[in-house]
């Protein structure tokens, strides 16, 4: 038997052992696939900033924060926006 939870995506209550409610599960899986694709194709360690991910994937800031806690994204670090501005001026 699961626990009563509030879905982090939609805020709806549900009874389960999963991360999100059944209505949001496919959306969450699609976002994670988008994020994996972005990191495989576009990510440059120390240069890719968080805003790049948000702009290129359409994933919400709240969901990106949640996904970045997943073990499959461990070790991925974003560069700072300030460093990106300095590098682009050179």
Query: Is the per-residue pLDDT at 88 higher than 70?
Result: no
3-state secondary structure at position 14: strand
Cα distances (angstroms) measured from residue 70 to each of 24, 61, 66, 84, 85: 17, 15, 7, 26, 29
pLDDT of residue 30: 97
For the chain, the domains span: 25-89
Query: Is the per-residue pLDDT at 26 higher than 70?
Result: yes
Tokens representing residue 24 in the block: 């949001």
pLDDT tens, residue by residue, 29-81: 999 999 999 999 988 887 889 999 999 999 999 999 999 999 999 989 888 87
pLDDT tens, residue by residue, 68-87: 999 999 989 888 876 554 44
Q: Which one has a higher pLDDT value, 89 or 48?
A: 48
- For residue 20, the number of C-alpha atoms closer than 13 Å in the C-beta half-sphere is 18
What's the rounded Cα separation, in Å, for the pair 7 and 88? 39
From 13, 11, 86, select the one nearest 46 (Cα to Cα).
86
pLDDT of residue 82: 66
pLDDT of residue 18: 86
């Amino acid at each position: 038997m699961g626990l009563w939870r509030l879905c982090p995506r939609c805020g709806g209550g549900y009874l389960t052992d999963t991360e999100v409610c059944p209505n949001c599960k496919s959306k969450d899986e699609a976002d994670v696939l988008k994020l994996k694709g972005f990191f495989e194709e576009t990510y440059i360690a120390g240069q890719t900033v968080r805003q790049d991910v948000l702009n290129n994937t359409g994933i919400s800031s709240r969901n990106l924060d949640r996904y970045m806690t997943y073990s499959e994204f461990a070790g991925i670090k974003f560069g700072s926006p300030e460093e990106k501005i300095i590098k682009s001026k050179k």
